[in-house]
Structure 1
Amino acid sequence: MKLPRRRFMSGATALGLGAAYGLQSRPAHAQVALGDMKLDVVSDGSLTLPGSFIFGPMPQDELLPILERLGQSPETLTPPCNVTLMRQGDRTVLFDAGSGSDFSPNSGILQDSLDVLGVAPEDITDIVFTHAHPDHLWGILDDFDDPLFPSARYMIGKTEWDYWMNPNTVDEIGDARVSFAVGAKRRLELIEDQIAFFGDGDEIMPGVAARATLGHTPGHMAFEVRQGSESLIIIGDSIGNDHIAFARPEWQSGSDQDPETAAATRVSLMDQLSHEKTRVIGFHLTGNGLGYVEKGADGYTFVTEG
């Protein structure tokens, strides 16, 4: 099968990630070992979003001083897109598939990032989705709308699947996200015969358990990866940025489809993660998204390891 490729830049140049404390580092990724599992954080580039996409519903008089303190522009957001690759035994697993070539001009470099690791699309055995937004799902197709990962099996939460496959979703999701609904349904229909479903608490493969982190989308899932006493949580977009989501996790965000539920999810996650000092990989957290949550006198802070 021919696998056409779009090249924006080499993976190493696109990522430019620095050395990470406690990690084996390479120019284009960070790596964590948990027992016989090897997890690499690789880049799919970045997005450029208007600040109102997240900040719109927030109390502006309180928001602006916090953003100024954190060095974050209220006008423009440029979040990274961090994809997790896990290798264990004969399995090579992607958690989310990036955005492909049809969503954002600064994203879609996942193939280049995988090239740095010597991983080809046909090497991927499983793709597990946190949710079905474009920057997590649309990368399953190549530039000709053919499946990019010919050997992959797919997994998604049943609630998430049901939401995007519901023909009423396109009419109910709101004008700003109509393309999300159309694009998700079209792609999910193409992989319908290769997909398996899971629910909250299910062990989807040895050492990997799904955890409902609802609100960003109706069926958003995180994944706890555990080997012995070591663990790490792939949080997807349940904590969607490294600034205001940490400083004021209880505030509702315009990026979430159910802002009230998403805020409750963030507050609960922040409390647990800061207490347990659990490593996280966040899809849109700064750098390569790897670090942990620290509680302070005024909100929380994301402490990076990369």
Structure 2
Amino acid sequence: MITRRRFLRTAASAGLASQLPLLSHASTSFGSMMLDTVSDGHLELPASFLIGEMPSEEVTRILAQHGADGEILKSPCNLTLVRDGENTVLFDAGSGAGFMPTAGDLLDTLDAIGVAPDDVTHVIFTHAHPDHLWGVLDDFDDPVFFNASHHIGRAEWDYWTNPETVNTIGEARASFAVGAARRLEAIEDAIDFFDAGDEVLPGIMAVDSSGHTPGHMAFEVRSGSQSVMVVGDAIGNGHLAFAKPELASGSDQDAEKGAATRLALLDRLATEQMPMVGFHLPQGGFGRVERHDGNYRFVPEST
């Protein structure tokens, strides 16, 4: 059981008040750990990026039920922060200032809960897409979390540092490859590698969730008998990923494998009733998976 839950809606500054629904913050304690989700703002992406040019009537209906029926979909960005009294662990590093003007708020939202960049002892990456990696460097290309060790799956590192990736990833994502390679090279001396099934840090186990990217990882964070799953982008939104998880998503680099991974994760989370954090899920991204109408639904933990 979760020992304490509270839900806050907050903004990094008064000037962002109109974005409150996208800047949700969730906090919970489990065992000896405290988990917070901290907002990096949100992404604004063409609906076609997720669902293709000609969505079916059923897909259109599902999106409309979630208020996501326009040509542009807004996607919240929730990073996970775990503290155990000794370590301060941040999962992913946000977008920084160079990716999208609606994102890059991480340092402000960390400051709002009393965490400075030099407090972070470890940064663990789910994957190396821009909204998860590019915030690792500041405007001067210096590491933001300069006291932290950085951890990434070996397959993910190998993919993004391969010089051929920029030639094979496709034109739409070529900038992702260039940006990832540059940032990973800059923090190479602070990088530790892991593989699926490894205990990255005490109580944090890497779970293979590839498909969204070749080396995408989720993480089971455990304290005693209690655990939370940090799923990154393996479950990428709060509507179609639950209601139609078998559908191929344009956001996944390997759409078939991404769908298989999504279905396996949803089944496990619903069966075990393990709380989860999703990077792009609503209301801070913290909640549970329930079976619903033959598929699933996301139930935010908001009390």
CA shift for structure 1 position 118? 1.3
Q: CA offset at residue 72 of structure 1?
A: 2.0
Matches within 5 A, 1:118-267: 118-267=114-263
Q: Give 1:295's aligned residue.
A: 291
Structure 2 CA distance, aligned partners of 1:12 and 1:89? 33
Q: Deviations over 1:74-116 (max 9, x none)?
A: 5221010001111113211100000000001111010001111
Look up the match of 1:108: 104
Deviation at residue 61 of structure 1 after TM alignment = 3.6
**Contact kept in structure 2, 1:12 and 1:28, CA below 8 Å:** no
TM-score relative to the length of structure 1: 0.90
Say which of 72, 76, 98 aligns to 1:76.
72
Equivalent pair of 1:58/1:251 in contact (CA under 8 Å): no
Q: Distance in 2 between matches of 1:11 and 1:209?
A: 38
Determine helix, strand or coil for the equivalent of 2:283. coil
Report the counterpart of residue 10 of structure 1 in structure 2: 13
Q: Structure 2: where are the runs of 5+ without partners?
A: 1-10
Cα shift at 1:300: 1.0
Question: Which residue type is aligned with residue 243 of structure 1?
Answer: H
CA contact (8 A) 1:64 1:74 kept: no
2:94 paired residue among 68, 92, 98: 98
Residue aligned with 2:68, SS:
coil
Deviations 1:3-24 (A, max 9, x none): xxxxx95289567479xxxxxx
AA partner of residue 293 (structure 2) = A
Quote the residue 2:6 is aligned against.
none
Equivalent pair of 1:11/1:112 in contact (CA under 8 Å):
no
Distance 1:300 1:286 in 2: 15
Moved more, 92-101 or 138-147: 138-147
Runs of 4+ in 1 over 3 A off after TM superposition: 11-18
SS in 1 for 2:228: strand
Using the size of structure 2 for normalisation, the TM-score is: 0.91
Which string of whole-angstrom CA distances, capped at 9 and with x for unpartnered residues, describes residues 18-69 of structure 1?
9xxxxxxxx9632111221111111000000000010017752432222233
SS at match of 2:297: strand
